[in-house]
Homo-oligomer: A and B are copies of this chain.
Amino acid sequence: MAPKNSNIRLSFPAVCFVWQIAMIILFGVFVRYNPESDAHWPEYRRMKNFTDLENDFYFRYPSFQDVHVMIFVGFGFLMTFLKRYSFGAVGFNFLIAAFGIQWALLMQGWFHSLDYNDGKIKIGVENLINADFCVAGCLIAYGAVLGKVSPVQLLVLTLFGVTLFAVEEFIIISVLHAKDAGGSMVIHAFGGYYGLSISWVLYRPNLGKSKHMNGSVYHSDVFAMIGTLFLWMFWPSFNSAICNHGDGQHRAAINTYLSLASTVLTTYAISSLWEKTGKLDMVHIQNSTLAGGVAVGTAAEFMLMPYGSLIVGFFCGLISTLGYIYFTPFLEKHLKIQDTCGIHNLHALPGALGGVVGAITAAAASTTVYGEEGFRGIFDFNRVAPVQGGYQAAALCVAIVFGIGGGIFVGCILKLPIWGDVADENCFDDEFYWEVRVELIYI
């Protein structure tokens, strides 16, 4: 086999330019402002008898900005933990997200925001949030292949990932009429299994040669905590961002806040129990503390009750940390899945759990607990509760099938020897895609 060539000087700029120009053309043909962001708003507003404040912007913009921080700083810095791949972590995360949100606005727009009068996609702040959600799926997948793929591969992963996401989301939300406010299924289970499947196809048998680079140093672990904390703090905004106005957003924020708090304690407990002298492991603290936010996503808007949220978080911290301890090594050894960031334990599994929690709580919903009007407002499709629970479970299957199927398909494409990825001994090293300046030992 010829030695790997990581020179991407032609392919990478070419892909960036072609795709960005394609975006401009497609936006030119398809995308316009919706009535709330269009200059005709004053007339529209009068017609609808709205005040300026009832513009959706004021309901959702603060949450949007929090979600935006999670996507760019949260995911980006969470992956800076490797001693010498921080540029790639935060820099490629930035690239994926900036490209992905454009393609997501189009894909999701065709499915959900198309105005059939003029064939245009009409966008507003909710579309921006959904686009951020959509790239989250791809960023999760990036976590599984961190340090092992080229930026060109990442752009391909994103193009297909966003496409698959939009289709899967359409089936789950608009065909099955399942609820998934915080995207446990649509985002996390899908993104997790998508990334794991790609990593499985791209299995590198000699990755051990890069072992010395596959770890953290002291300050890179501190950088990663920036990512962890911004994800953790803003997760209530993530899960509530596109909920119903009023109690929906309010309750989703509370549920998520509680679930996350509970997760922290079990994560710390298990992390300490595992180590001989009770020390804590930064890998667990950086990742498993977030699992409660993932798992409470589907049910965030439901009447999960405060103690229900605590219970979800309790088990998620426990399971996720045990996943890092037992399951990640198992995956690598026996299933040939190399999962750099352990997304299985942070996204795939908690996402699936979240789908199950959602199905159960939906099946148990009643108008006694929700009130007539509240019930109709949340489960907007006209079904009895147990049937809704069944559809929720079906939705989870769709997410997983799309993740695994799509991941295998995209993995095969990414296996072609044309994408400029590095050799097994050069993984987890910024040297190959970034100008890293010569440094004095000057701390």
- Interface membership of A171, Cβ < 8 A: no
- Interface membership of A208, Cβ < 8 A: no
Task: Bin chain A's interface residue count.
Answer: 35 or more
Q: When the two chains form their complex, are residues B37 and A218 in contact, meaning their CB atoms are under 8 A apart? A: no
A257's closest neighbor in chain B, by CB?
A: B128
In the complex the two chains form, what is the Cα distance from A69 to B17 in whole Å?
A: 32
B-side contacts of A2, CB under 8 Å: none
- Interface membership of A378, Cβ < 8 A: yes
B-side contacts of A275, CB under 8 Å: 9, 435
- Interface membership of A23, Cβ < 8 A: yes
Interface positions, chain A 256-277, Cβ under 8 Å from B, are: 257-258, 260-262, 264-266, 268-270, 272-273, 275-277
Contact stretch, chosen from A349-357, A369-377, A392-400? A369-377
Q: When the two chains form their complex, are residues A32 and B306 in contact, meaning their CB atoms are under 8 A apart? A: yes
Q: Known: A33-B254, A264-B98. Contact between A282 and B38, CB under 8 A?
A: no
- Interface membership of A416, Cβ < 8 A: no
Q: When the two chains form their complex, are residues A439 and B279 in contact, meaning their CB atoms are under 8 A apart? A: no
A24's closest neighbor in chain B, by CB?
A: B310
B-side contacts of A73, CB under 8 Å: 226, 229-230, 233
- Interface membership of A188, Cβ < 8 A: no
Of the candidates A99, A212, A260, the one having the most CB atoms from chain B within 10 angstroms of its own CB is: A99
Contacts A279-B435, A281-B435 supplied; 17 other A-B pairs, CB < 8 Å: A9-B273, A9-B275, A12-B278, A33-B251, A38-B303, A52-B246, A53-B59, A57-B249, A61-B63, A76-B229, A99-B265, A101-B257, A128-B253, A128-B254, A151-B268, A217-B440, A280-B434
